[in-house]
A and B are shown apart, each in its own frame.
Chain A
Amino acid sequence: MTVAAGIGYALLALGPSLSLFVAVISQKPFLILTVLSSTLLWLMSLIVLAGVWRAFLPFKTTPSSSAWLPYSILILSSVVFQEGLRVLFWRIYKKLEDILDAFADRVSKPRLFLTDKMQIALAGGMGHGVAHAVFFCLSLLTPAFGPATFYVEKCSQMPFFLVSSMIALAFVTIHTFSMVIAFNGYAEGNRVDQLIVPVVHLVAGMLTLVNLASGGCIIGIPLLYCMALFTLLHCGKMVWKRLADSQNR
């Protein structure tokens, strides 16, 4: 609508990440590097997915809502791929942690603390979230800086940009914190945590399919925010428990 609106939409999607970045991540250069490399990794995953699916796009859909099936397969495959990549990310992080610990031992300094490990996981998750927000939301925002706005028929109550920013915000939250949950799950071998992350991701992805129906976003977006809230709460509970445990030890 105007420059102000454009900046507003961008901040809506990325505001919390920005404040998290300034408060936590910019203090330690290593975390900045983690964010950058994590974003790069997810960008590459998106490119690979796009390369695979390019041949099938754009979907030829008849008006009778048979667009559900191809899109759901698309989302399913993408989520599965990204979760697989998360496991890879974890393995790389494990190696890095070993190297760092070895160096720490050599110069007889303390090893990585639990909070440091969690911060690295947070930075990794933030990279994922920022990659998602930029590629799914910000890249479409350029017209929003101009004089007009755009509505999608399926969701005609709000401008398209607003809807996509809100969805992006929910996803950013989910991605950022599920990385922390996942890393903790892998570190402790906790099956529940390990499985919760892909499930949440898949459910969130599938929820957006609801947006294909007319007026679907009224149901879809609040449910998405419920997922985001659930991720946040679960992550908070888990971190609290872990910190309390390690202090008691």
Chain B
Amino acid sequence: MSPVSICMFLVVLLVYSLTNTSASSAVRTAANLVYLESPTDTPAEKLEGALLNALVFVILIAFVTFVLVLLYYYRCTSFLKHYTRFSAFFVLSFMGGPIFLTIIQHFNIPVDSVTCFILLFNFSILGVLSVFSNGVPILIRQSYMVALGIVVAAWFTRLPEWTTWVLLVALALYDLVAVLAPGGPLKILVELASRRQEELPALVYEARPTTNANISGSRGGSTLAGLLVAGMSQNDGSDHGVELQAVSASPRTNIGNYENEIASESGHMVINMDNDDEEEVEVVREDQEETSPLMAGNSRERSRSPMMYESTDNSSRRLNEVAVAEMMRPRRERDGDEMIEVMNGRGIKLGLGDFVFYSVLVGRAAMYDLMTVYACYLAIISGLGCTLILLAVCRHALPALPISIALGVIFYFLTRLLMEPFVVGTSSNLMMF
């Protein structure tokens, strides 16, 4: 939850400080191919144009997803890996660059162009390296994920208003269809990956460090218990995630990941396992040669991807099925703390597409008022919570977008149309309750 909050907060900040300067530069992007909105059109025209735009965009995304599924089917994994690296570089430098420049112009920061270029270049290269390698500290990788999300979201907020809202709704629907419907591309991807017991190269935010120990199943029994507890306390039946290190040709790694499980920074609820449950999980563990570290469960959430790159989610592991079953029995007392906490320290693995579209929604709300920002933020967080609970119940891949986006859009329009005249009317007369 907290990386999502940080991303949204930074996007709101960016939108607030840069709204004046960006003005009405109509950017023609893939989301604008059909219809370029201008303030003088009638609402009917705008709605029609926005629908067409959204349709074209969704078709484009679906096409790209199918291409990716094909590539994955024919095992062109290294191509996918290189493509993801290229898109990370492209996003950070060519899309982050203009934002960077706008900030410099807006705040009159004295820096010369050569320094600027070198800084940007270094920034992008480090981003590319951190996205896929294991040697980079987890904090850097997380920051770069958030940075990628911010850059793409900031670009999306430049779209005109009607197009943005219709696009968000269309993408939420697409996500729903693509993940749950029998012919959906993301569903095929998940099944392929699970059948091959492999992991996809994808861009995913993960909240805990992972090491790539190339051990498979050979662990001392004594440490196993401790690790299991620590490990289970990291994941819980939700979220998805692909291990980014999977891209390399050693899928059977990651059993060692448990060692570095520290309570995730996200400060979520931790579902700790009781000591009694360990044996069961242990047995299953020995059967597993390869595991996706920490992943809980069958339940994954899929994430949407914008045009630039696909962030897809991974499949489930049998281990995790059991783990999830164990985890559904929460409650364990924390040391010395009397309160029984329902703690869920999931190493959150959230697809980057989710970050982007949540931030786009909040950024667009920020362009109206702070009240709408807060309302949409609450709606998205509670939607995320609901999705996670649903995930723990359903235990298979679920789309992360629909519930949050639906709640967010509803709350935005309700707040803007209903609540604002009411609250502003009373509080500007200094009457509150």
Contact = CB atoms under 8 A, between A and B. Distances in A.
Q: Interface extent on A, as a size class? A: 35 or more
B433 A115 contact: no
Interface stretch (B21-29, B59-67, B80-88, B326-334): B326-334
A171 B411 CA distance: 24
Contacts of B417: 54
A244 to B, nearest CB: 18
Interface stretch (B131-139, B300-308, B356-364, B421-429): B421-429
B433 A208 contact: yes
A107 interface: yes
A73 interface: no
A140 B426 CA distance: 12
A211 B429 contact: yes
A58 B422 CA distance: 8
B331 A212 contact: no
Interface stretch (B146-154, B280-288, B337-345): B337-345
A220 to B, nearest CB: 8
Question: Interface centre among B332, B371, B415, by most A CB within 10 Å?
Answer: B371
Q: Interface extent on B, as a size class? A: 35 or more
Contacts, number: 159
B423 A134 contact: no
A112 B340 contact: yes
Contacts of A171: 432
A155 B421 CA distance: 21
A11 interface: no
B86 to A, nearest CB: 38
A84 to B, nearest CB: 14
A33 B269 contact: yes
A195 interface: no
Interface stretch (B91-99, B156-164, B374-382): B374-382
Question: Interface centre among B343, B417, B421, B427, by most A CB within 10 Å?
Answer: B427
A32 interface: yes
A109 B340 contact: yes
Question: Interface centre among B374, B419, B426, B432, by most A CB within 10 Å?
Answer: B432
Interface in B251-274: 267-270, 274
Interface of B: 267-270, 274, 329-333, 337-344, 369-371, 374-375, 378-379, 381-382, 385, 411, 414-415, 417-433
